[in-house]
Amino acid sequence: MFKKLDITHHIPLLLTGAIRYGEGDHDSFERLLDSLISFCFRYFTIGNRTVADLEKQIGLMSKYLRNPLPLEDISENDEEVKTIQNLQDVIDYMCRLTPDLTFVNNFELFSTRNNTLGFYILNELEKQKRSGVRPLNHGPNQHIEHIMPKRPSKAQNRMNEWSSVRNSEDYNEFKYRVGNLLIIERELNQRAKNYDFSTKKEVYEESGLYYPSEIINLDEWDFQSIEKRQKQMAQDALQVCNYSE
DSSP assignment string, 47-69: T---HHHHHHHHHHHHHHHHSPP
- How far is Cα 116 from Cα 101, in angstroms, rounded to an integer? 26
**Which residues contact residue 226 at a Cβ distance below 8 angstroms, ignoring those fewer than 6 apart?**
147, 148, 174, 177, 179, 180
- Domain residue spans of the chain: 11-97, 115-240
What is the band of 82 on the pLDDT scale with cuts at 50, 70, 90? very high
What average pLDDT does this structure show over 199-227?
96
Using pLDDT thresholds of 50, 70 and 90, give the confidence band for residue 188.
very high
Selection from 149, 166, 165, 167 nearest residue 203 by Cα: 149
pLDDT at 46: 96
| Predicted confidence (pLDDT) at residue 41 exceeds the cutoff of 90 | yes
- pLDDT of residue 102 exceeding 90, the answer is yes
Q: What is the pLDDT of residues 112-160, one digit of tens each?
A: 999 989 999 999 999 888 765 555 554 556 789 999 999 999 999 999 9
Residue 3 CB contacts under 8 Å (≥ 6 apart), including other chains: none
Residue-level pLDDT at 177: 98
Over the chain, what is the mean pLDDT? 90
List pLDDT tens digits, range 103-124: 999 999 999 999 989 999 999 9
Percent of the chain's residues with pLDDT above 90: 78
pLDDT for 162 equals 95
With b for 16 or more beta-carbon neighbours within 10 A and e for fewer, the 8-24 pattern comes to ebbebbbebbeebbeee
Would you state the pLDDT for residue 138? 47
Predicted local confidence at residue 3, as pLDDT: 53
Which pairs from 224-230 meet CB under 8 Å and 24+ separation? 226/147, 226/148, 226/174, 226/177, 226/179, 226/180, 227/108, 227/179, 228/179, 229/179, 230/107, 230/108, 230/109, 230/110, 230/177, 230/178, 230/179
The whole-angstrom separation of Cα 236 and Cα 232 is: 6
Angle CA(32)–CA(37)–CA(39) in degrees, nearest 5?
A: 90
